[in-house]
Amino acid sequence: MAEMAAPESKGKKGKKKHRSKKMSTRVDLTPMVDLSFLLVMFFMLTTTFSKPQTMEINMPVKPKGEVVEEKDQPAVKASKALTIIVGADNKLFWYMGIPNSEDNVPVLSSYSKDGIRKVILEKNATIKEMVVLIKPTDEANYKNVVDILDEMNICNVKRYALVDIAPLDLDLIKNL
């Protein structure tokens, strides 16, 4: 622990002068360092490390060797379908119903709360049993697709699907 070291007297033996002894103070910090390392180890071992958050997606199981054709997939009413196209360079497009009609031109949107989230919340409130079709392009970022899936959870959309993008959709967004 801490100790007080007294220097040895170097005076002559014949003379007896009574001088006050000057004590030099020396504090041994070794136990303090040990204690600090013990505290660091204690806090490192007792902290709760953040676990990565994952999203569960239930994918349909198709039997091996069986090819599912488009005619076998259930049809979605055009009035209940919201299509979101995730494009390159963080671009996002959406339209309702069938593409390429006069009323259903894809609209450029953003990933903000005033962008696609506002659209999804409005459509989900007005359309009962709405289905969201998410169509990522080949140039889309993985992060953007995950962001759209997160928006489905935030907006409490129960029915959505990841769908391959059609050539018609690619032509529509190419012109925008």
Per cent of the chain over pLDDT 90 is 15
In this structure, of 9-23, 91-105, 108-122, 133-147, the range with the lowest mean pLDDT score is 9-23
Split at pLDDT 50, 70, 90, the class of 62 is: low
Structural domain boundaries in the chain: 77-174
pTM of the model: 0.61
Inform me whether the pLDDT recorded for 36 exceeds 90: yes
Range 77-174: architecture per CATH = 2-Layer Sandwich (3.30)
What's at 127, amino acid-wise? I
DSSP-derived pairing of the beta strands 81-86 and 131-136: parallel
Residues 57, 111 contacting (CB under 8 angstroms): no
112's CB contacts (< 8 A; 6+ apart) are none
